[in-house]
Amino acid sequence: MMSESIKELILSLDSNAKFKDGKDNRLWVAIESDKLKIVLERLKDKGYNYISAISGLDQIQNGKILLLYHIMNDSPREYPYITIRIELPREDPKVSSIHDILPGALLHENEVFDMFGVNFIGHPNLGRLLLPENVRGDVHPLKKDFKDSVYEGMKK
């Protein structure tokens, strides 16, 4: 099916890519972070124009921050819904911005910077989006080591 051709395409760009097939026509892909841009560019030629979200994941136990790019094809019934996963180091995470390939990702990148402190290289307006602009320093609330008295009291 189409999912196989997508797998071949990604493997030709990144030989270390790992795949996991999900239910409901889903495809989970893990690739290297420096291959992200070229993979997304090639997938865009195949019709992957829509980005649902970029979700960050803080894995404090292995010192990694994961970024998940959820993208969808223009003919979604044939092509699978892809989640691309990249790994970044927890100290000083950096990845190139994809807003020139998928313009819809602009605000999502802002949000990930806000919540996880990931630096998107080439982003035109990287700054606080949801937190107030006057929050300075390394305050990123969705990181697991973020301390806040309110949330600590809520954990049962």
For another protein, give the closer residue by CB, 10 or 98.
98
Closest CA to 27 of 76, 80, 70, 66: 80
Q: Tell the smallest beta-carbon distance from residue 109 to another protein (Å).
A: 12
Q: Which helix (H) or strand (E) holds 82?
A: strand 81-89
Residue identified by tokens 């999900």 is: 22
Measured CA to CA, the distance from residue 97 to residue 88 in angstroms comes to 14
Which of residues 24 and 45 has its CB atom nearest to another protein in the complex? 24
Question: Minimum distance between the CB of residue 88 and another protein, rounded to whole angstroms?
Answer: 15
Q: Which residues bind another protein (CB under 8 A)?
A: 23-26, 49-53, 55, 57-58, 68, 70, 72, 74, 76-77, 81, 83, 102-108, 115, 128-132, 141-142, 146, 151, 154-156
Residue 33 per-residue DSSP state = G
Question: Which residues, at least 6 apart from 122, have a Cβ–Cβ distance to it below 8 Å?
Answer: 96, 97, 99, 100
- Report in angstroms how near the CB of residue 54 gets to another protein at its nearest: 9
> Nearer to another protein by C-beta: 35 or 143?
143
